[in-house]
Amino acid sequence: MNPTVAATVEETRQAVAAARRRGLSVGLVPTMGALHEGHASLIRAARRQTGFVVVSIFVNPTQFGPHEDLTRYPRPLQQDLEVCGREGVDLVFHPEPATVYPPGFCTYVEVTGLQDVMEGAFRAGHFRGVATVVLKLFNIVQPDVAFFGQKDGQQVRIVRQMVADLDVPVEVRVCPTVRAADGLALSSRNAYLDPEQRRGATALHAALELGRSLIEGGERDPERVRGAMAARIGAAPGAVLDYAEVVAADSLRRPDRLRGRVMLAVAVRFGSTRLIDNVLVDVPDTHSV
């Protein structure tokens, strides 16, 4: 059975208030739809850990650049509702853009520094749109816990900073990236890949695992790790590298030498399709120099 669908802020707040009167905790899974197993894993985590599960389905226009794929981004709403029904979602918030951004809207959230590197360097304004819509969703739903996937590692870091800086009363829980059998991170954009591109896309995970193995083997020079990752992706037919980064997981800045927790991150284009992925690596102290 499909869940209840709310299109307005008021409907959503009324449903959440009713759940709270029943003593239920509220979990939110923010999505742009085109739900796959990665999203389903977040919903299942929310189902296990909270009493009332809300999934937002909203293709957020403010996080797309002028030459990005907003118009062709998949919107299979009926399939998404079937996934939500199967996973036991209580409420789907599916607003129109004018509901989220009414006429005269002019307030945006920026997490300076963290938003300007990696994805931010290639997609100007992207994280301004992400932070703004996530804060709006938090204010509308007022969840106890919000669930995100590690695949969007920079986004997770930015959301956590925003929550801390603005004293937003929500706990952010991050769930592991869900991958296909060959290592490719599940993404709604994978559907754009033709068979040859799909085979080449395994280079993202292969490059990240190469970087991990170098660090675990004792390499502490981030440029050597980054160079090896870039070379691995460069060897994949059709792959165009936007970036291969090795950064401190907290600051998202390049360190002089690897220590503590680091994020290895890549962004690669196959034709008009752009894929991202990352892994977190705790640098072993035993190999420190």
Report the catalytic residues.
39
Give the C-alpha separation, 74 to 229, whole Å: 30
Lookup result for tokens 């296990």: 48
* Contact yes or no for 144/50 (Cβ under 8 A): yes
